[in-house]
Amino acid sequence: MEPLRIGILGAARIAGRAIAEPARLTGARLVAVAARDRDRAEAFAAEHGVERVHASYDDVLADPEVEAIYNPLANALHGPWNLKAIAAGKHVLTEKPSASNASEAALVRDAAAERGVAVMEGFHYLFHPVTRRLHELLAKGELGELQHVETTMVMPPPPENDPRWSLPLAGGALMDVGCYALHAQRSVAPWAGGAPRLVSARAGERKRLPGVDEWLNADLEFPNGATGAVRTSMGAETLDFSCKIIGTRGEAFAPSFVLPHNDDRVIVTTKEDHWVEQLGRKSSYTYQLEAFAAHLRNGAPLPTDADDAVATMQLIDEAYLAAGLSPRPTLAS
């Protein structure tokens, strides 16, 4: 399979973990990178073997050897630069969430469809054997009928000047970590009669930052009567990125479903038995890049495509409104 030829927008810290290391492991080419600070881009390129450094993001998009863009910019810059990449005819692997709100996500989806390029939203956890096993337990009926799903994404606070606390940059706990919790709820729809609907949401604003959620909790309901509980925070004392699935015959718990390279356990308890499975510490970002390549080269299905991104953003917007906050604004041009 011909290696993917990737251009990177920015030298964000996550880019090393989310694209550079997976590219090395999968044989993808890191063709180009640009950053607001050229020195940072030069350092990133030297560390990760990027072939060349460009003066601007636009130059990366104009590079004829680049076929796909990785976008790790601040949330509010996802939509605008995803749209620019699409207009340049590039496929897009974007960090989550794909846009600031559902309306902008729909613009990205429609633009990609018109241009004939792929957009993949970076919900990397979905491709790891930990989450695949959770879904397999449901699919095989080992847990019985689905009754309840708990997804928890809480972490200690980032620094006060971090973009994740900026409303204009589409920050907030739900946007940064909570989107994983909502997406994971949506991912069990095949075993719950369909997609969940939001029942209620509650949130607390970060001190001195009106409109920016430090925490947000939400309740959901599935068509088959199963319920979902989402807990998300960027003000917790400790990190907890866990998922629990409860059925009529038993339950399964993944202590670190979003960071399975740290803890790859799935703990299963049924009426008859109790056991622990370890599914491997290979990075979920590597599985994600393999899935992206399989889609672009072989037409393999892409579950986290632009349609999926719109559905997730709709649920995020609904949760903000139900909690008495506003959806994140589109970045002013």
For the chain, what is the largest distance between any 2 Cα atoms, rounded to a whole number of angstroms?
62
CB 108 within 8 A of CB 83: yes
Q: What is the distance between the alpha carbons of residues 331 and 333, in angstroms, rounded to a whole number?
A: 6
Q: Would you give the end-to-end CA distance of the chain in angstroms? A: 40
Q: What is the distance between the alpha carbons of residues 29 and 282, in angstroms, rounded to a whole number?
A: 20
Q: Which amino acid is at 194?
A: G
Residue 96 is a catalytic residue: yes
Q: Which of 84, 90, 96, 244 is catalytic?
A: 96
CB 243 within 8 A of CB 134: yes
Q: What is the distance between the alpha carbons of residues 82 and 71, in angstroms, rounded to a whole number?
A: 7
Q: Which residues contact 320 (CB under 8 A, 6 or more apart)?
A: 174, 201, 203, 213, 216, 326, 327, 328
Give me the sign of the Cα torsion angle 248, 130, 316, 90: negative
Question: In which element (H, E) is residue 310 found?
Answer: helix 306-322
Q: Which of 316, 145, 310 is nearest to 227 (CA)?
A: 145
Interhelix angle 306-322/179-187, nearest 10 degrees: 120
Residue 276, exposed/middle/buried by CB under 10 A (0-12, 13-18, 19+)? exposed
With vertex at residue 81, the alpha carbon angle to CA 14 and CA 123, rounded to the nearest 5 degrees, is 45
What tokens does 138 get?
Answer: 């449901």
Active site residues: 96
